[in-house]
């Protein structure tokens, strides 16, 4: 449904009895008017003039030119944002918006400037009915279809998660794979040692001596942690107790990231580069473990965060600086979509159909391009099963304040 940026009083001056469309507008504006942050102005003596039409393709370059709405409304981005109607968003009337509202409230802890003024409404609407939430979105936000610079609206959706892995605070015959804090001299040498050099060179091992956070049993799980960037450990402490802790991203060796799945495909080792496929290949070729691991020279260092006293129903902090919400947070290319932006995501499958409101709260080195997103599925084995297989087509619409 089309709305304008005129006040509720201006819109109400146009009501005609028994007109269904305008009754819907009046209902929306009545809902918005109940929010404390949305005060209306006295009715004007005359009907307001119609707003000037918006351009059909606001590119990053066009944003810098004079526009028929206030300067600075749209951000400078390396993607095309094309104004769209709400009817264009697949599944918009069916989404359980209250699930996304948890992620939106999180974004309001560190809001992007364009959304700061809306956060009072967003917090109040967290307990509202879906119809109220939808009506508020249509009254206050404008959808823009995200396209690449050449006008392509199709992109790629993948997923990521937090592994939950048994670990030991001390090395044992079972737990032999260390997970490290960043070394003291990491910033002085760029790039730092490669993954292979960390495993084989005495000077690299010496630089990491005493930096072990914990040990795990499976080198593939260590690689999963390095690729996902965070995880949860069930750590056996020296006193026999167990603790659940989070490993959060703390830096890399500044070496390029190379996908071990892509290495398997390019060398003809397998046709299934999902995590289940990679594990199946390793079960048949255990002697080639190091060869596979060393195909990715990037190495990730972590910091430990206790989970006791925190809301463990949220994930790690993303690049926006707020905790991620399973199923409602995505990582994006920050050059194309600013952090904290609500986004309508539509992905038709084949693994699963996803049509829902999500928040752009994270990024990643492999997340590059206008229509590109990494979907946070949560933690544990079930989330890992989804994330390991999800790779499908994607369309995105940013929802930007009017």
Dihedral (Cα; 58, 150, 344, 108), 10-degree rounding: -60
Residue with tokens 């080198």: 219
The CA-atom distances, in angstroms, between 60 and each of 79, 80, 147 are 7, 7, 11
List strand residue ranges (DSSP E) for 275-371, in order.
300-306, 329-332, 342-347, 354-362
Structure-token pair, residue 268? 């003809």
Dist. CA 100–CA 326, nearest whole Å: 10
How deeply is 42 buried, as exposed, middle or buried, from its count of CB atoms within 10 A (0-12, 13-18, 19+)?
A: exposed
What topology is assigned to 161-306 in CATH?
A: Ribosomal Protein L25; Chain P (2.40.240)
What is the full DSSP assignment across 133-197?
A: HHHHHHHHEEEEEEE-TTS---EEEEEEEE-EEEEESS--SS--EEEEPPPTTGGGSSS---HHH
Residue with tokens 């940026």: 5
Is residue 342 within 8 A of residue 329, CB to CB? The reply is no
| 255: DSSP letter | P
| 275: DSSP letter | H
How does strand 300-306 pair with strand 242-252? antiparallel
Dist. CA 401–CA 118, nearest whole Å: 8
Supply the pLDDT for residue 308.
Answer: 67
Is residue 163 within 8 A of residue 233, CB to CB? The reply is no
The CA-atom distances, in angstroms, between 82 and each of 59, 63, 104, 154 are 8, 12, 23, 14
Cis peptide leading into residue 377 (ω within 30°): no
Is residue 145 within 8 A of residue 395, CB to CB? The reply is yes
Supply the pLDDT for residue 310.
Answer: 55
Taking only Cα atoms into account, the Rg of the chain, rounded to an integer number of angstroms, comes to 25
Residue with tokens 């995501």: 345
Supply the pLDDT for residue 88.
Answer: 97
Supply the pLDDT for residue 46.
Answer: 41
Dist. CA 69–CA 320, nearest whole Å: 28
Domain boundaries, the chain: 1-51, 161-306
Query: For each successive 10 residues of the chain (402 residues), what is the average pLDDT?
Result: 37 37 40 38 39 35 34 79 97 95 96 95 95 97 96 96 94 97 89 97 96 96 92 93 92 94 94 88 96 96 81 83 96 96 94 95 92 95 90 97 94
Supply the pLDDT for residue 185.
Answer: 83
Q: Which of 112, 130, 143 is nearest to 361 (CA)?
A: 112
Q: Which of 331, 325, 362 is nearest to 345 (CA)?
A: 331
Is residue 215 within 8 A of residue 177, CB to CB? The reply is yes
Is residue 330 within 8 A of residue 360, CB to CB? The reply is yes
Structure-token pair, residue 210? 């005493």
Is residue 369 within 8 A of residue 260, CB to CB? The reply is no
Give the number of other CB atoms < 10 A from CB of residue 155.
21
Q: Which of 161, 105, 67 is nearest to 359 (CA)?
A: 105
Supply the pLDDT for residue 106.
Answer: 96
Q: Which of 236, 228, 249 is nearest to 321 (CA)?
A: 249
Supply the pLDDT for residue 311.
Answer: 57
Supply the pLDDT for residue 61.
Answer: 32
pTM: 0.71
How deeply is 219 buried, as exposed, middle or buried, from its count of CB atoms within 10 A (0-12, 13-18, 19+)?
A: middle
Is residue 317 within 8 A of residue 303, CB to CB? The reply is no
Supply angle C-alpha 327, 321, 133, rounded to 5: 50
């Amino acid at each position: 449904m089309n709305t304008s940026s005129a006040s509720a009083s201006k819109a109400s001056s146009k009501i005609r009895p028994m007109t269904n469309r305008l009754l819907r507008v009046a209902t929306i504006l009545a809902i918005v008017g109940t929010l404390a942050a949305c005060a209306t102005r006295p009715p004007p003596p005359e009907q307001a003039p119609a707003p000037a039409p918006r351009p059909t393709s606001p590119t990053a370059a066009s944003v810098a030119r004079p526009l028929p709405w206030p300067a600075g409304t749209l951000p400078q981005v390396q993607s095309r944002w094309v104004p769209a109607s709400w009817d264009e968003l697949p599944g918009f009337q069916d989404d359980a918006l209250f699930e996304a509202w948890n992620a939106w409230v999180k974004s309001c802890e560190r809001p992007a400037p364009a959304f700061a003024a809306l956060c009072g409404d967003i917090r109040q609407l967290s307990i509202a009915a879906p119809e109220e939430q939808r009506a508020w979105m249509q009254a206050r936000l404008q959808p823009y279809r995200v396209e690449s610079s050449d006008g392509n609206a199709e992109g790629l959706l993948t997923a990521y998660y937090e592994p939950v892995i048994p670990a030991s605070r001390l090395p044992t015959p079972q737990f032999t794979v260390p997970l490290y804090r960043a070394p003291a001299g990491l910033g002085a040498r760029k790039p730092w040692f490669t993954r292979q050099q960390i495993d084989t060179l005495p000077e690299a091992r010496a630089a990491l001596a005493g930096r072990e956070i914990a040990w795990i049993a499976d080198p593939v799980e260590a690689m999963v942690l390095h690729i996902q960037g965070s995880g949860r450990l069930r750590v056996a402490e020296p006193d026999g107790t167990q603790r659940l802790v989070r490993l959060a991203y703390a830096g890399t060796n500044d070496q390029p990231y190379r996908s071990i799945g892509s290495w398997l495909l390019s060398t003809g080792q397998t046709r299934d580069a999902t995590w289940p496929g990679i594990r199946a290949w390793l079960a048949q070729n255990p002697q080639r473990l190091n060869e596979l691991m060393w195909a990715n020279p990037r190495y990730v260092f972590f910091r430990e965060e206790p989970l006791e006293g925190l809301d463990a129903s949220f994930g790690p902090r993303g690049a926006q600086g707020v905790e991620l919400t399973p199923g409602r947070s995505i990582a994006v290319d920050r050059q194309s979509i600013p952090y904290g932006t609500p986004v309508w995501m539509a992905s038709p499958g084949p693994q699963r159909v996803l049509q829902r409101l999500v928040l752009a709260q994270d990024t990643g080195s492999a997340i590059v391009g206008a229509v590109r997103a990494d979907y946070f599925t949560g933690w544990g084995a079930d989330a890992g099963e989804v994330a390991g297989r999800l790779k499908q087509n994607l369309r995105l619409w940013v929802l930007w304040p009017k």
